[in-house]
Chains A and B, each alone.
Chain A
Amino acid sequence: MVGTIIRKEISANLLSYKFFIVILLTTLLLATSFFVLYKDFKGRQADYELVRPKPGEAIAVLAPNPLSIFAKGLDEAMTRSFEVSPIGLQVRAGQKSGNAVFAFFPAPDFVYIVKVVLSLVALLFGFDQISRERETGVLRLMLSNSVSRAKVLAGKWLGNYLSLAVPFLLVALIGFLLMTLDPQVRFGAAGTGCFLLLLADALLYIALFLSLGILVSALTRRAAASLVVLLLVWAVAVFVLPNLGTLVARQLVDVPSVKALSEKRQQTWTREILLAIVEGRAQGRQAGDVNRKTHLEAINTEFDKLEHDYRLKFDRLVRLSKTINRLSPAASFVYAATELAGTGIGEESRLKDEIIRYKNAVFQEFDQGRKDHAAFAYRYRSAGQVLAQGGMFDLGWLAAFTVVLFGLGFAAFARYDVR
């Protein structure tokens, strides 16, 4: 029975204008997004070849992450160049800081398309499942046959989910496979695994919005009302909550601004350099050859302290904003997807820890008078580690959301007056 309903839903969808235009839109968007971000990745890869450190240089630069084609996240921040010299760490940013228009709009990557467009599309598949069929009278006919409401709902859900998920999966997988043809884009086994998990994350997210659509459809008498409610809920969940959440978290945790921090660093420098010179003069040396060592050490200790202090506060901000933002499934989806791709906030702060460790190691080599430095090596977390460190929570959260929404939808449908 369920099979028949699924078939009916799919064939009804295939013939509809909605299906046609919506699938056209998503296919077009996904294809454009893959193309544009693939080109962007290639460009950054070419840049990386220009700036990659020569053997012996104490420079930490990561090659751009191929999964950033799908989830750009913080890859731009992670592929900056961090150069260690006796006077500390020098940071140089990549392309994005040159063109300010990038700063206005988020990157149109796969994660963005799923977060914004696919969720809307899932709602469009779900919004009229119950209320429209009541309006047209189909629901009455269906239920007058001896079929349980549970089966009808399950059939509807699966039928619509399949007609949405299958084309989506096809496009995503074809895009991925085409990219693996390029020998310079190496995903590797781990990368492929992460991509598949990312797809699973996306499928879960779509399921959530489809269930939400069906729930609201079962709560309203008219499809038009159902759509209005859904569009507003969608706008709040996808745009308002996560973007406001971070701002609210900022009011609760005091984190110094980046500018304040950089000013503090400059001040420390200035003070120590002057102290070094004044001390040197007292010992009768020329300004050029004063003993800077103790002062450079003082600068470094102070910088490390500033950095450590900032990290602590910033991590607290990140944790709090994550907690608040997870109210919105869109945020949960983005967190899981970017961490799986290795471009999330967790990965970025892990990279920074590694860079600090590398800097300290190079400083020891400076002390020993070594000119050749070990190269910086960084290993992204494996999918297992990501899942263990919060990824599983986000996925579970999305799944729980979906189950609850579907359950509520079933409860609402069970009591639905089909007349």
Chain B
Amino acid sequence: MVGALIKKEIQANVLSFRFVAVAALLLIVVPVTVLVLSTDAAKRVDEFSSRRSEIETYLKSYAHFNRLQNVVKPAQPPLASYALVRGISSDVNFEEFDDDPLPVMFPLLDLTFVVAILLSLAALIFSYDAVCGEKEDGTLKLMLANGLPRAKIILAKIIGGTVTLIVPFLLSLVLGLIVILLNPRITWKGADWTSLAFLLIGAGLYVLFFQVLGVFISVRHHSSSASIMTSLCVWVLFVLVVPNLSPYFAALVSPSPSRIKVSREMNRLTDVERDDLGRRLADEKMRELTRTYPALAENLSQAEAKVRAEKDPAYKIALQARVREVGAAWDEANRIQIAKANALQDNLERQEEAQTKLSGTLSMVSPLADFTYLSSDLTSTGLMNERHFKRLSDIWGRSYGDYRQAKIVSLQKKDPAVDWWNTPVDVSDMSRFVYKEEDLAARLKGTLPAFAVLAGLALAAFWAAYFSFRGYDAR
């Protein structure tokens, strides 16, 4: 019985004008979006590889430990999924003078956006008159007169509507995927396809929710023109307002300290104040040293000292002691000041993290936010990837630290008085930062809450629709 009802819904939908309009729109917008996005993705791959080779050229001629870590900073390579989903990977970068503010004005169009805006709107267009429309036409009375259980009618309406919307969407997506497959510059691996499959499940849940919501609203009304008004207002709230307001509310409830202030303070701690402290500690050490090695009292320039050290072995020992002790003094100053700065930074990060978490939770009331999070996390373009990238960078940062230590030791072995900080080094044996996407399993696990909220919302709306329909006056 349900089968026949679903078939009826699908047939009625397919013949309707709205189906033709929505399908035509999707069949144009999705492939065009994918075409533009994949061209852009290929462009990013090119740019990334040229950036890399430029870094290597620099390292060959100008690597020295004073500035090395600024040149080999870990960088996020473009991902295969950029051809479909962009998440927050856009290049706004307010930390640099040359920022790129365009995405702030108009966010990028990607698959997530198409699903989140167009499909949810289409789902409501398909379902706003599901029940009240049939009442207006008088067919609802006929159907119920045939002794059909109401649960089956409503289930068939939801399933039929969802199927008629998902099918043209999948068709348009297939066109888009053909564009991707034809692009030789973009290669998708198995995990990319699997994550796309899960993303589509998420999209299905998302569309289902709006379909059920539309049916629910339609049950609450007796005229379809009133039903569409309510549907659109609810849609605006859920999709266009709640997610956008949530970070602002979170910032009100859980404020974080001024970034500019903290950053300036940290700079002062590790620069001016560090230098003062370092100089003071070094001077103290020097006073002690001159007591042991009076020869150090005369202040020779580096070149003169070198000449004298070659003639006078005692002076050489004194010189080595000076390098060691002064170095230790500066290390101590660095350690103290960096600890202070880190405490500030940690505090800032903690508060920002709390705020981000709160905004995330608040926004998850909106199915759009849930879908946005799950699609960006599945494709490694969201917050989860930012954390993952930070973890990878930290690991690499530690390995770089070890490498630097070993390299300094070997430099000092050759020449104990070497100024390793400012001497060119050969870094061809240094391990470069390699980005590896987070495991699909881990990504999936991270997106479970979003999946759960979406499913829960759909279920809640279904119960509401069912119970309202049981008491619906079909006359």
Contact = CB atoms under 8 A, between A and B. Distances in A.
Q: Do A and B come from one complex?
A: yes
B463 interface: no
Contact of B106 (A61, A82, A117, A246): A246
Contacts of A116: 236, 240
Contact of A228 (B125, B352, B421): B125
A101 B229 contact: no
A285 B47 contact: no
Contacts of A21: 229-230, 233
A397 B369 CA distance: 34
Contacts of A223: 225
Given A104-B243, A244-B109, A271 B229 contact: no
A97 B95 contact: yes
Interface residues of A, number: 111
Contacts of B360: 101
B261 A51 contact: yes
Given A80-B94, A251-B43, A92 B75 contact: no
Nearest to A229: B21
With a 10 A CB-CB cut-off, give which of A74, A97, A243, A355 has the most chain B CB atoms.
Answer: A243
Interface residues of B, number: 106
Nearest to B221: A17
B186 interface: no
Contacts of B408: none
Contact of A94 (B71, B100, B259): B259
Nearest to A325: B106
A236 B25 contact: yes
A22 interface: yes
Contacts of A246: 102-103, 105-106, 108
A250 B422 contact: no
B251 interface: yes
Interface string A79-114: 011110000010111111111111111111000100
Interface stretch (B4-12, B33-41, B192-200, B201-209): B33-41
Interface in A331-375: 331, 334, 338, 345, 348, 352, 355
Interface string B233-269: 1001100110111111111100110111101100000
Interface stretch (A162-170, A261-269, A383-391): A261-269
A266 B259 contact: no
Nearest to A89: B97
Interface of A: 17-18, 21-22, 25, 29, 32, 36-37, 39-40, 43, 47, 50-51, 61, 73-74, 76-77, 80-83, 89, 91-108, 112, 116-117, 120, 124, 128, 132, 223-225, 227-229, 231-232, 235-236, 239-240, 242-248, 250-251, 255-264, 266-267, 269-271, 273-275, 277-278, 284-287, 306-307, 310-311, 314, 317-318, 321, 325, 331, 334, 338, 345, 348, 352, 355
Given A17-B229, A236-B29, A267-B62, 9 more contacts: A36-B249, A104-B243, A105-B369, A108-B245, A243-B107, A247-B109, A263-B55, A270-B70, A352-B97
Interface of B: 17-18, 21-22, 25, 29, 32-33, 36-37, 39-40, 43-44, 47, 51, 54-55, 58, 61-64, 66-68, 70-71, 73, 75, 88, 90-109, 113, 117-118, 121, 125, 129, 224-226, 228-230, 232-233, 236-237, 240-241, 243-252, 255-256, 258-261, 263-264, 301-303, 348, 352, 355-356, 359-360, 363, 369, 372, 376, 383, 386, 419, 421-422, 424
27 contacts: A25-B236, A40-B251, A47-B260, A50-B261, A51-B260, A73-B104, A74-B101, A91-B94, A98-B348, A98-B356, A101-B356, A101-B359, A102-B247, A103-B88, A112-B244, A232-B25, A235-B121, A243-B108, A244-B33, A246-B108, A263-B75, A269-B70, A270-B68, A278-B424, A311-B98, A314-B98, A345-B101
